[in-house]
Structure 1
Amino acid sequence: MRNAWDLDPDFLTVNHGSFGATPRVVQEAQRAWQDRMERQPTRFMMTVLPDALRQAAAALGGFLNGAGTDIAFVDNATTGCNAVLRSLALRPGDEVLILSHAYGAIRNTVRFVTDRVGARIAEAAVPFPQPAEDALTAAVAAAITPRTRVAVIDHVTSGSAIVLPAARIVRACHDAGVPVLIDGAHAPGQVDVDLAAIGADWYAGNCHKWLCAPKGCAFLHANPARQADLHPVTISHGYGKGFLAEFDWTGTTDPSRFLAVTEAIDFHRQLGDAALRTRNRDLAAAGTACLAQRLNTEAGATGATACAMGTVRLPVADATPEHALAIRARLLQAGTDAPVHAMDGALWLRLSAFAYNQIDDYERLADIVAAAVREDTA
């Protein structure tokens, strides 16, 4: 399968989770849209794009079990989360609930919107390592207070690679009268995503990671009841004309990344769809176990809360973010990339498994990481 991508054969690619990798067939589909646009830009933008964008949204909705009319394309999941959080009318004393393992960019967005009005951030402590679905749900429910105005919940945490029981958590929040924004940056194409079953008020997800769409292809799904007061980060000509009018046109950009999502969905299905996701998860589990055994440490998540990314604790004493960056830089110099995060008093390495990976990739990774750890502790 590696021939389907333009990946450097000399570089050990075990980090699909950060930026994905767009296969040649999807790149070709994007270029075809770009060629069509450049043959007559005005005609394309005015007469072709509106319907093509909605057709792409309908295809994505079909893949995620959500109505295309409730889906708007955005640059990335962070942009989608920004749109929701910056549309909220928060007041002094209000609380925005996030996970202790929330993605840094989203944490900063919550800081921004709460600092401006005198609101505050509340955290649900993620049990880690080896979290259980019951404990994850209970942690969120326990952190809700009468001042909680919205809960921002990761579907798959970035640093710790934990799959949260999204539908259960949404129900728990709704039972307490709290709306939910799901940060699904790592979910589409990696785990099963059923927007209708999850039932979140808003769901922001990336298509350029595990769905292999072009970079900058992401979406924001909004429940119809939550669309009236929802606005894109960039206010433009559609202001006040409705959800899709505001989001579908925020200014001139290259929409080919969105339109090529249909080819990305087709490619994902050709690779096996649900069977591919299961295969990737199983390979990540095997790779994680290989690395943990080699380092004589432990895995961060297994079983129902594990996904096609795995985390392994590094046997080092210095658990600072600066040390994490230094080790990652050493791995890059050695010809591979695996993010290293400082979490809960330890450093954790994250690996990914995708269609172009095999178990020998992780045996090779174990050699590289073991050498890096030996050099670090020498």
Structure 2
Amino acid sequence: MPAFGRSLLAEFPLDPSITYLNHGTVGVTPRRVLAVQQAIRDEIERQPSRFLLRELTAPATSVGMPRAGTPRLRVAAHAVAAFLGAAGDDLVFVDNITTGANAVLRSFPFAPGDEILVTDLGYGGVTKAAQFAAREKGATVRTVTMPWPPTPGTFADAIVDAVGPSTRLAIVDHISAESALVLPLADISARLRSKGVAVMADGAHAPGAIPFRIAELGVDWYVANLHKWMWVPRSSGILWAAPERQASLQPAVISWGLDEDFTTTFDLPGTRDPSSHLAAPAAVDLFHEWGLEAVRHYMHDLAWQAAQHVSQRWDTPFDTPASMIGTMATVTLPATLGSTREDAQRLRDALLFEDGIEVPVHAYRDRLRARISAQVYNDMDDIDRLAAAILARLR
């Protein structure tokens, strides 16, 4: 097991001159996993037709005779499914969470007057996909304003209590994007489904970050990115569907897999570079080599300590309970730094281009907030640099 912190930065291809506190946005892949991906690309180029048309997926197209071996994409899917507590045949690869969410939303049998429930903490790309699906089928999207400060109980109650007679589907974050809050997904899902509401979970930030087993969450669909906290190369995500939901599910791109079984339908979206998905087992292996629980504990503890530290130095409130912190923490910035989206953009640019610090800044409820990502290559020195850069601007 390596020593976590700045010394581990050499294992990642990041610019060492930048204090990178933004792993959660698009992720960073360890060099060793990138090397595996490149080896896969090299293998593809040696015999591209054999690899892509005979070995990668089930033979839904008429290229050669049926093969005895498991298709390569299914081998990788089974490895990822085992890591995430699911059966391999219930999980397919998608390019990213937005692609998976579109598949669910555009396959769902909405009728005019039906309602999709989202929250004001939801990821904008997924919410827009819901708005499009609703518009096409005469349904509506209703946004729940979440209570503040956050607690697991008040969050669960706010979502469940918002269900109305027309609510057919709820989109629930496992870890919210900008606010970085871990929601009690299993509890929320159980209560929603008892009311006859289907649940699509947005797990963009969960794989690799927190322990969970998809099959035990009680959701109907689980969409997530692997290229964030799971160290898989971009772009790679997964879509898990409960067995009873698979027959009606179609990918966002229809191709040769039409009318085949669930996995074949999604495994055949047309020609693409599959190397990111196929490199996912290498990322799983690295987690186990470095110590899965040790990695998660380090990231969680650093995120929690970082939030406490900067909020004290900035004299701003931080009321989030530790149970709602995963590997990121969002902290309120001093009021004098602004309150608008434009203020947030200016500050984020200034931190990067003047101070060499990459950290998301957003406006929420008339205050600016910074979302700090804590990865194994970060340590408290990185947090101190951010705290000092903000205090310098106040002076």
TM-score under structure 1 normalisation? 0.96
Q: How many aligned positions are there? A: 373
SS at match of 2:107: coil
Amino acid at match of 2:86: G
Residue of structure 1 in register with 2:263 after alignment: 244
Displacement of 1:369 in angstroms is 2.2
Are 1:128 and 1:300, in contact at CA under 8 Å, matched by a contact in 2? no
The CA distance in 1 between the partners of 2:328 and 2:198, in whole Å, is 28
Residue of structure 2 in register with 1:70 after alignment: 90
The CA distance in 1 between the partners of 2:362 and 2:181, in whole Å, is 14
1:17 to 21, 24, 27: 24
SS at match of 2:238: strand
The equivalences for 1:1-378 within 5 A come to: 1-50=8-57, 51-129=71-149, 131-299=150-318, 301-316=320-335, 318-333=338-353, 334-374=355-395
SS at match of 2:56: helix
Amino acid at match of 1:35: D
Are 2:151 and 2:321, in contact at CA under 8 Å, matched by a contact in 1? no
Displacement of 1:246 in angstroms is 1.4
The CA distance in 2 between the partners of 1:321 and 1:104, in whole Å, is 14
Amino acid at match of 1:21: V
Which runs of no fewer than 5 residues in structure 2 stay unpaired? 1-7, 58-70
SS at match of 2:148: coil
CA 1:143/1:280 → structure 2, altered by over 3 Å: closer, same or farther? same
SS at match of 1:86: helix
Are 1:99 and 1:125, in contact at CA under 8 Å, matched by a contact in 2? yes
Displacement of 1:300 in angstroms is 5.5
Deviation string 1:63-92 (CA, Å, 9 cap, x unpaired) is: 011011111101111111111011112122
SS at match of 1:98: strand
Deviation string 1:263-303 (CA, Å, 9 cap, x unpaired) is: 01111222221221121011011111111111110225231
Amino acid at match of 2:275: S
Q: Which moved more, 1:187-196 or 1:248-257?
A: 187-196
Amino acid at match of 1:329: D
Residue of structure 1 in register with 2:61 after alignment: none
The CA distance in 2 between the partners of 1:10 and 1:308, in whole Å, is 23
The CA distance in 1 between the partners of 2:130 and 2:345, in whole Å, is 24
Q: Which moved more, 1:315-324 or 1:234-243?
A: 315-324
The CA distance in 1 between the partners of 2:128 and 2:270, in whole Å, is 25
Which runs of no fewer than 5 residues in structure 1 stay unpaired? none
The 4+ residue runs of structure 1 with deviation greater than 6 A are none
CA 1:253/1:171 → structure 2, altered by over 3 Å: closer, same or farther? same
Are 2:331 and 2:371, in contact at CA under 8 Å, matched by a contact in 1? yes
The CA distance in 2 between the partners of 1:95 and 1:321, in whole Å, is 29
Displacement of 1:123 in angstroms is 2.2
Identical positions, percent: 41
